[in-house]
Structure 1
């Protein structure tokens, strides 16, 4: 369709098509002609658009309109590849992209993803999946990718600007009693009994326990050195590597009541040699999440724990018990291998001596709870009952 007439201005030019619509163009700093991405209903609208471009050039805010013409799928996958992520995090990001982000945005260029389109996408995901936590994770990932696009000067502003959209409102973690932890350890069987105790009283992540070696255990000092982790991906592949964060590399001081369980496990089940794995299956194979999961669900049913109680919830139990035994927030962070820059600046240092004190307090608390449960099981009156009957 040809031009009907044109109008040269001090900056740029506007032209009218035979359809009656107007277009605008100008020469960029690189002397290449740039055209308006859309047509305008009136000449004045086209001139206003040119005035905005001229103002951007004057302020130094101008951006080549062709820069953002990068396919989002290509850019996002490259973004994941370049991050140097752990195997589990990379797997999570690729799954979120594949299932929740790319079906909407894979055919668009980066600069075509606008704030209204992000709002529409999020609303559709919430309505379709009903999984607010997954949508929040997906939103945070999209926002991170687009923030890098801002840094790369592909777009001027991040289109992910929905307040609170990336926050997760997780339900309160369930806490087991000492008696329930003991019951779970008994129900899961002698080979995996120590894993339950290390999950609660370590408290160690299952992927950290999966990579523990004999050389990491000091039975005399009652310590375990966490050096690495071996998470299991959804395809069943073990992915040995670094811990979740630098704080995950730590020396865990165990409460003394675990000495017998730790010694028996080393004697009966751990692989031989200093590099032998601490936890192996009946056939001598490394720990497998899928196999252990079946045993965990059976044990949970025997004990009568709710289906929602996960192995990871043992860590929350350990946090709570350690706090009750006198541990500070920093103590529990060090013990559990959690990192928080803000907390590290606010809370006091927690050294080995303090960790030994925490383990000692945890030892006393658990022993007291066990003695109380034993008395109640035997039908013996408590001290308070004796006083009241006197």
Structure 2
């Protein structure tokens, strides 16, 4: 037997004529009425449904109690999230909802959720062995979903605002030092992905950004690389998406070492018969397909660490963290480093990498010297 949908809950399906339709319900003086929205694509109809539900709830004079359960609300939220979140973000959200939130909260009425019970769920997750970071992520998913429920006036407050998720200590940053970085790049000489490692260490680009790099993004004459997209690998395959944030879409100056490595890489690809101009990938596997980060890490990066006699670490630490820390240690302006990293602000860069900024002496002594 099909379950009864909660107040205002929508459903999306494809029609025989190829169009998509979304159905939702509104309360009228004559009783509950069904409304239908049509569009050419699923994404378009989901966006129209989200707008209609938001307008419906905002038009309501006040919060109206409803019998909708957490599971029923998340079924509705799911339709919105899959078209408003990036692919990997949606997969993470979906896993957290399926594995943690719905088993613990799904049968509760949305309006009956209490801060005490949500707090207890977090404590149970910690007792079961989940890390503080994972529980905090669970909290983030629930808080985001309940914010939407408040906007739609399904509930009058978000109980997550009254709950204390576990504190997460700042992650330890373990970049390569100057000598280790030299050994790392020396050991990469002759590797198919030598230029990728050089670019990672000298530009701070993320592995997905390197995987999504086109030759049209490179201006080797003026030594500039433009970050325009990222290669995302998920359960459904690989896709190209916009960079992580708006600040992540950036131009990065390249040192001569990186330009030389890229020129040699391009010559080898051309010799192998791969195109090396225009909107084609710079880094591919042996058959010209996008790189698979998991394969790259286990088949190339980890053996490379052993050849260089380096402790086990992550690609992110060996390249991106190393670029940022070595740049700051060399006295590069913090704003320039922050822009190259694509950080949200210089303040974020300074707070995370403060210990790597050189100490140029006491400010009081500096002022004495300046005003003598």
TM-score (norm 2): 0.70
Give the aligned partner of residue 143 of structure 2. 143
What is the SS of the residue equivalent to 1:269? Answer: helix
Of 335, 341, 346 in structure 2, the residue corresponding to residue 336 of structure 1 is 341
Provide Cα deviations, 1:155-183, integer angstroms capped at 9, x if missing partner. 22211145651653243111102332333
The Cα offsets for residues 189-227 of structure 1, whole Å up to 9 and x where unpaired, read as: 521111112222111011111111111111111111111
Q: How does 1:222-301 map to 2 (within 5 A)?
A: 222-233=223-234, 235=235, 237-269=237-269, 271-272=274-275, 273-294=277-298, 295-301=300-306
Partner residue, 1:199: 200
Give the structure 2 partner of residue 323 of structure 1.
328
- Map of 1:79 onto structure 2: 77
Q: Which 5+ residue runs of structure 1 have no aligned equivalent?
A: 1-29, 33-59, 347-390
Other structure's SS at 1:230 match:
strand
| Partner-residue secondary structure (3-state), 2:98 | helix
Q: What whole-Å deviation, never above 9, does each CA across 1:275-305 have from its counterpart, x for those lacking one?
A: 2210011222211112101121221233333
Distance, in Å, in 2 between the alignment partners of 1:86 and 1:169 is 26
Instruction: Give the conservation status (yes or no) of the 8 Å contact 1:228–1:241.
Output: yes
- Structure 1 match to 2:92: 92
Q: Check conservation: 2:96, 2:138, Cα contact below 8 A.
A: yes
- 1:329 CA displacement: 3.4
The equivalent residue for 1:312 is: 316
Is the CA contact 2:247–2:342 (under 8 Å) kept in the aligned structure 1?
yes
Give a deviation string over 1:70-105, Cα, whole Å, max 9, x none.
Answer: 221232243243241111111111111122211111
Q: Which has the larger radius of gyration?
A: 1
Root mean square deviation of aligned Cα = 2.8
- For 1:207 and 1:91, the matched residues in 2 are separated by 17
Residue equivalent to 2:369: none
CA contact (8 A) 1:185 1:194 kept: no
Alignment match, 2:34: none
Q: Distance in 1 between the 2:119 and 2:193 partners?
A: 47
Distance in 2 of aligned mates of 1:95 and 1:157: 25
How many Å separate the matches in 1 of 2:341 and 2:118?
37
Deviation at 1:184, TM superposition (A): 2.7
Say if 1:162 and 1:125 are closer, same or farther in 2 by CA, change over 3 A: farther
SS at match of 1:231: strand
Residues 21-73 of structure 1: CA distance to partner in whole angstroms, max 9, x if unpaired? Answer: xxxxxxxxx9x9xxxxxxxxxxxxxxxxxxxxxxxxxxx997433x2x22212
Shift of 1:241: 1.3
- Contact 2:334/2:346 (<8 A) preserved: no
Aligned residues of 2:132 and 2:167 also touching (Cα < 8 A)? no
Per-residue deviation, 1:108: 2.0
Q: Tell me the SS of whatever aligns to 1:129.
A: coil
The question of whether the paired residues in 2 share the 8 Å contact of 1:185 and 1:192 is answered with: no
Question: Structure 1's 94 and 231: CA in aligned 2 closer, same or farther, altered over 3 A?
Answer: same
C-alpha change, 1:161 and 1:300, in structure 2 (3 Å) is: same
CA deviation map 1:344-390 (0-9, x unaligned): 9x9xxxxxxxxxxxxxxxxxxxxxxxxxxxxxxxxxxxxxxxxxxxx
SS at match of 2:159: coil
Cα distance in 2 for residues equivalent to 1:165 and 1:299 = 39
The answer to whether the 8 A contact 1:232-1:239 is kept is yes
Give the secondary structure class of the aligned counterpart of 2:339: helix
> How many residues matched?
285
In structure 2, runs of 5+ residues without a counterpart are: 1-28, 32-59, 351-372
- Pairing of 1:110-189 with structure 2 (within 5 A): 110-161=110-161, 164-165=164-165, 167-188=167-188, 189=190
- Do the aligned residues in 2 keep the contact of 1:80 with 1:93 (CA within 8 Å)? no
- Measure, in 2, the Cα distance between the counterparts of 1:280 and 1:185: 19
Deviation per CA, 1:86-129, whole angstroms, max 9, x where unpaired? 11111111111122211111222211221111011000011102
